[in-house]
Structure 1
Amino acid sequence: MTRPTPLTASALPAQAFRSEQRVRFGDCDPAGIVFFATWFAKANAAVEDWFEGALGIDFHALHAERRIGTGFAHAEADFFAPGLMGDRVALTPLVTRIGGASYGLTLHVHRGEAELLRMHLVTATTNLDARRAVPVPADLRAALAAYQERCA
């Protein structure tokens, strides 16, 4: 397996959405380094921000009112450098694939220009009541495609 090369923040598309977050005391282990599982919680928070800020879709209404879930069906990460307590980081999602009932994202996490980690996420769309996969809703599909095009 070939290890990916970190990208600078400025190498990402200028039109891409960035979720700014702070690393807090509770995000870290006793050494002050971000606990790896915390990055997945921060990724989900970034996705919630991205829905509203870049896709124009109310994430909470999608789940609570429309009963469409968007859970990670697959998640992996390549870590390049540790995140530290007090860091201000930018999480930048890029759409890699839009499928029938799922979509893929690469989420870049930067502290300044330095990429700390890169996550590869597959999100499945599900009917929350039936707990079964459903096609990506038309409005979400259109928003994902438009964002992907803006960032190409």
Structure 2
Amino acid sequence: MSARITPPARARLAAGVHVAPVKIRFAHCDPAGIVYFARWFDMINGVIEDFFGAALGLDYHVLIRDRRVGLGYGQAHADYLKPGMMGDVVDFAVLVERIGGASLGLMVPGYRGDEPVIAARLVIVTTDLNAHRAIRLPDDLRAALAAYEERCR
């Protein structure tokens, strides 16, 4: 079992951190009105797709569709800290933890106001979608991640 993810306090996020609000909808929830665990990952993946364009200046879909660079999850872990409820707005932050050779590590905490409700840790592995093998992070992605990481200090 991996170590518990401790998200930073919302007030301690640097001004440059990409934050995306997501409204919890009926479709995200189980019959009790609480976010179904797998739906958190659907929301987080949407946040990551938008992060590529908004914070990195790279179109996620162009990387996959046109450039044939896969952005699959080699690892995904989440700690569910508080229940997410239908009608809540959860602000997801994207924090770069590691820029590796063929992968990048992200922490994605979600906050309801100042209260953390979820903390996810993802390892995204870049692959050649034609050859189905890991490849080095593309130079433009590596540079964009490094610039984002610098803005978030």
Structure 1 length normalisation: TM-score?
A: 0.95
Structure 1 residue 7, shift from structure 2 partner: 3.9
| Residue 13 of structure 1: aligned partner | 14
Q: Distance in 2 between matches of 1:138 and 1:62?
A: 12
| Residue 88 of structure 2: aligned partner | 87
| Residue 107 of structure 2: aligned partner | 106
Kindly tell me the number of residue pairs found equivalent between the two proteins: 152
Q: Distance in 1 between matches of 2:7 and 2:147?
A: 26
| Residue 126 of structure 1: aligned partner | 127
Tell me the alpha carbon deviations over residues 2-57 of structure 1, each in whole angstroms, 9 at most, x when there is no partner.
64555432121121001111111010011100011111111110001100100000
Residue aligned with 1:135, SS: coil
Q: 1:5 to 1:100 in 2, by over 3 A?
A: closer
Q: 1:2 to 1:98 in 2, by over 3 A?
A: closer
Q: Distance in 2 between matches of 1:135 and 1:3?
A: 29
Tell me the alpha carbon deviations over residues 104-133 of structure 1, each in whole angstroms, 9 at most, x when there is no partner.
000010111111011010000011111110
- 1:136 maps to a residue whose letter is L
Unaligned runs of 5+ in 2: none
Matched, 1:138 2:139: yes
Q: Distance in 2 between matches of 1:151 and 1:8?
A: 14
| Residue 42 of structure 1: aligned partner | 43
Residue aligned with 1:30, SS: coil
Residue aligned with 1:60, SS: helix
Mapped contact 1:71–1:125 kept (Cα < 8 A): yes
Structure 2 length normalisation: TM-score?
A: 0.94
Q: 1:11 to 1:73 in 2, by over 3 A?
A: same
Residue aligned with 1:43, SS: helix
Mapped contact 2:103–2:126 kept (Cα < 8 A): yes
Unaligned runs of 5+ in 1: none
| Residue 30 of structure 2: aligned partner | 29
Residue aligned with 2:22, SS: strand
Q: Distance in 2 between matches of 1:25 and 1:82?
A: 14
